[in-house]
Structure 1
């Protein structure tokens, strides 16, 4: 009886050590791969955003980002996936009036920030997202990602979303740290 308890306690101890080791690896991986985590957040933001009917007729959901940034490269891996009945399509940031092709604009570098500030971009129904650790200047973002300790969090400017005629799901709004 004592031998059986000893074997059982060693087995449980090994299981706890294995689980702790797996958690440590997952935690370390999440800390190292910030771009994959940001890409997952952005993908999910599009699941919980509704664009005006005229913008919703297209079968593609165009995510405009600089393809030469680490986040742009990571987002490109999601191309072709289905989201909210549309096909996720990552495009390079266009110039001027052609910003109208974008459903989402990722402000992760100076060219994206400049594009977001143009007159053409001001009134378009574009979900503007600023990733963590990026200075977006004076661009009005709909979603701003940031790090809080070892966690990735986000704030939502629902006033800006409404001004752009975007409807954000109440589920998304409840998950945000701050909603203005």
Structure 2
């Protein structure tokens, strides 16, 4: 019974992601909300190491950038793996280790190098809309192309961090770097 429930959740979430990603679908008017929702869905379909899960009391989704405040705050009443989601706006890199997921927006580009050093080989999912993010060592880059949102995945960095993204999500990726 659990498999059916999980499969339905997976299909529903992938359908929502697919709606945002399929050719012919224009980007939703509020791209910030869509990027926050994608970040949540990436977390939902990522497998963390057991040691990291044992440390957690709630999922912490962190983000940089004031422009995303309302979009990420809306995730605070959601759950991941039957645990509540806490949303944290970061202003500096020093607090990033408390996060399970970090979204860094293009306006915070100058923090990218320090962020990637701070999370290197740690089970912290990194997502961004910064051009070239996955090539610089980020895990998932959200890309706007032809007025649609797509994403690229850096499998090598995910694996070094002990994270695994669902194969169903990888099928939707524009590009998977191995």
Query: How would you bin the TM-score normalised by the shorter chain?
Result: 0.7 to 0.9
Which residue pairs with 1:159 in the alignment? 156
- Closer/same/farther in 2, CA of residues 146 and 28 from structure 1, 3 Å limit: closer
Which residue pairs with 1:76 in the alignment? 73
Which residue pairs with 1:15 in the alignment? none
**SS state at 1:73 partner:** helix
The unaligned stretches of length 5 or more in structure 2 are 1-23
- Highest relative contact order (Cα 8 Å, sep 6+), 1 or 2? 2
Q: Determine whether 1:124 maps to 2:122.
A: yes
Q: CA deviation at 1:123?
A: 1.8
CA deviations over 1:47-82 (Å, ceiling 9, x no partner): 10011112112131111112x422243111111311
Which residue pairs with 1:63 in the alignment? 61
Residues 27-38 of structure 1 mapped to structure 2, 5 A cutoff: 30-38=27-35
TM-score when scaled to structure 2? Answer: 0.73
Q: CA RMSD in A?
A: 2.6
Conservation of the 8 A alpha-carbon contact between 2:103 and 2:126: yes
Which residue pairs with 1:14 in the alignment? none
Number of residue pairs matched? 151
**SS state at 1:36 partner:** helix
State which structure, 1 or 2, has the greater radius of gyration over its C-alpha atoms.
1
The unaligned stretches of length 5 or more in structure 1 are 1-26
CA deviations over 1:125-156 (Å, ceiling 9, x no partner): 1111012x657597411100011212110011
Following superposition, which runs of at least 4 residues in structure 1 exceed 3 angstroms of deviation? 27-31, 94-98, 133-139
Conservation of the 8 A alpha-carbon contact between 2:48 and 2:164: yes
**SS state at 1:56 partner:** helix
Q: CA deviation at 1:94?
A: 6.8
- Closer/same/farther in 2, CA of residues 98 and 33 from structure 1, 3 Å limit: closer
TM-score when scaled to structure 1? Answer: 0.72
Q: Determine whether 1:168 maps to 2:165.
A: yes
Counterpart-to-counterpart distance in 2, 1:151 and 1:130: 16
- Closer/same/farther in 2, CA of residues 173 and 51 from structure 1, 3 Å limit: same
